Chains A and B, each alone.
Chain A
Amino acid sequence: MSAITREDVAHLARLAHIRMDENELDKMSGELAFIMDAITSVSEVAGQDVPRTSHPIPLRNVFREDVPSGMLTQEQALAMAPDAEDGQFKVPAILDGE
Chain B
Amino acid sequence: MTELTELSANELIKLTALQMAERLRAGEITSVELTQAHLDRIAAVDGPADGQGTGVHAFLHVNTEEALAVAAEVDAIRAAGGTEAQDLHPLAGVPIAVKDLIVTVGQPTTAASKMLEGWMSPYDATVVEKIRAARLPILGKTNLDEFAMGSSTEHSAFGDTRNPWDLGRIPGGSGGGSAAAVAAFMAPLALGTDTGGSIRQPGAVTGTVGAKPTYGAVSRYGVIAMASSLDQVGPVTRTVSDAAALQELIGGHDPKDSTSLPEPMDGLLEAARNGELAGLRIGIIAELEGEGFQEGVLARFQESVQVLKDAGAEVSEVSCPHLGYALGAYYLIMPSEVSSNLAKFDGVRFGNRVVPDGGGTIEQVMGATRAAGFGDEVKRRIILGTYALSAGYYDAYYGSAQKVRTLIQRDFAAAFEQVDLLISPTSPVTAFPLGEKLDDPVAMYNNDIATIPANLAGIPGISVPAGLSEGLPVGIQFLAPARGDATMYRAAAALESRLEEAWGTPFWAQAPELAASSAAAPAGVENAAATATAGGEN
Find the A residue at minimum CB distance from B255: A64
Find the A residue at minimum CB distance from B321: A45
Among B148-156, B347-355, B529-537, the stretch that binds chain A is B347-355
Tell me the minimal C-beta distance from B46 to chain A in angstroms.
27
Q: In whole angstroms, how far apart are the Cα atoms of A57 and B230 in the complex?
A: 10
Q: In whole angstroms, how far apart are the Cα atoms of A91 and B349 in the complex?
A: 9
Find the A residue at minimum CB distance from B337: A54
Question: Which residues on the A side are within 8 Å of B434 (C-beta)?
Answer: none
Tell me the minimal C-beta distance from B298 to chain A in angstroms.
23
Q: In whole angstroms, how far apart are the Cα atoms of A43 and B456 in the complex?
A: 17
CB pair B351–A12 under 8 Å, yes or no, is no
Q: In whole angstroms, how far apart are the Cα atoms of A14 and B402 in the complex?
A: 26
Tell me the minimal C-beta distance from A85 to chain B in angstroms.
13
Known contacts A19-B367, A52-B399, A89-B348; is-contact A59 B216 (Cβ 8 Å): yes
Contact of B350 among A9, A42, A80 (CB under 8 A): A80
Contact of A51 among B122, B262, B374, B403 (CB under 8 A): B403
Interface string of B243-264 (1 = CB under 8 A from A): 0000000000001101101100
Find the A residue at minimum CB distance from B330: A39
A-B contact count (CB 8 A): 184
Secondary structure at the A interface, as helix, strand, loop or mixed, is loop
CB pair B352–A82 under 8 Å, yes or no, is yes
Tell me the minimal C-beta distance from B415 to chain A in angstroms.
16
CB pair B325–A56 under 8 Å, yes or no, is no
Q: Does B404 contact A (CB under 8 A)?
A: yes
CB pair A91–B348 under 8 Å, yes or no, is yes
CB pair A50–B406 under 8 Å, yes or no, is yes
CB pair B122–A12 under 8 Å, yes or no, is no
CB pair A43–B396 under 8 Å, yes or no, is yes
Contact of B404 among A35, A42, A59, A94 (CB under 8 A): A42
Tell me the minimal C-beta distance from B97 to chain A in angstroms.
23
Question: Which residues on the A side are within 8 Å of B441 (C-beta)?
Answer: 31, 34-35
CB pair B370–A17 under 8 Å, yes or no, is yes
Q: Does A87 contact B (CB under 8 A)?
A: no
Tell me the minimal C-beta distance from A98 to chain B in angstroms.
9
Q: In whole angstroms, how far apart are the Cα atoms of A20 and B386 in the complex?
A: 15
CB pair B404–A56 under 8 Å, yes or no, is no
Q: Does B400 contact A (CB under 8 A)?
A: yes
Q: In whole angstroms, how far apart are the Cα atoms of A55 and B230 in the complex?
A: 8
Known contacts A18-B374, A31-B380; is-contact A82 B259 (Cβ 8 Å): no
Chain B residues 163 to 217 lying within 8 A of chain A, measured CB to CB, are 214-216
CB pair A81–B361 under 8 Å, yes or no, is no
CB pair B380–A53 under 8 Å, yes or no, is no
Q: Does B368 contact A (CB under 8 A)?
A: yes
Question: Which residues on the A side are within 8 Å of B255 (C-beta)?
Answer: 64
Q: In whole angstroms, how far apart are the Cα atoms of A43 and B400 in the complex?
A: 5
CB pair A42–B367 under 8 Å, yes or no, is no
Contact of A38 among B328, B362, B370, B457 (CB under 8 A): B328
Tell me the minimal C-beta distance from A56 to chain B in angstroms.
3
Find the B residue at minimum CB distance from A59: B259
Question: Which residues on the B side are within 8 Å of A51 (C-beta)?
Answer: 403, 406
Find the A residue at minimum CB distance from B342: A16
Question: Which residues on the A side are within 8 Å of B350 (C-beta)?
Answer: 80-82
Contact of B382 among A18, A38, A57, A79 (CB under 8 A): A18
Q: In whole angstroms, how far apart are the Cα atoms of A17 and B372 in the complex?
A: 12
Instruction: Identify the interface centre among B120, B328, B329: most chain A CB within 10 Å of its CB.
Output: B328
Contact of B122 among A8, A35, A46, A80 (CB under 8 A): A80
Find the B residue at minimum CB distance from A57: B458
Known contacts A56-B229, A92-B361, A93-B361; is-contact A19 B368 (Cβ 8 Å): yes
Instruction: Identify the interface centre among A39, A51, A93, A94: most chain B CB within 10 Å of its CB.
Output: A39
Interface string of A59-98 (1 = CB under 8 A from B): 1001010000010100011011111000001011111100
Question: Which residues on the B side are within 8 Å of A91 (C-beta)?
Answer: 348, 362, 365
Q: Does B384 contact A (CB under 8 A)?
A: yes
Name the 9 nearest CB pairs between A and B, nearest first.
A56-B458, A82-B353, A46-B400, A52-B402, A39-B328, A19-B367, A46-B403, A19-B371, A53-B405
Chain A: residues with CB nearer than 8 A to chain B?
1, 4, 8-9, 12-20, 28, 31-32, 34-36, 38-47, 50-57, 59, 62, 64, 70, 72, 76-77, 79-83, 89, 91-96
Q: 7 A-B residue contacts at CB 8 Å?
A: A31-B380, A32-B384, A32-B387, A39-B327, A39-B328, A41-B324, A82-B348
Given contacts A77-B122, A82-B348, 4 further A-B contacts (CB under 8 A): A1-B393, A17-B367, A35-B380, A57-B261
Chain B: residues with CB nearer than 8 A to chain A?
119-120, 122-123, 214-216, 229-230, 255-256, 258-259, 261-262, 322, 324-325, 327-329, 331-332, 339, 343, 346-353, 355-356, 359-368, 370-371, 374, 379-380, 382-384, 386-387, 390, 393, 396-397, 399-407, 409, 441-442, 445, 455-459, 482
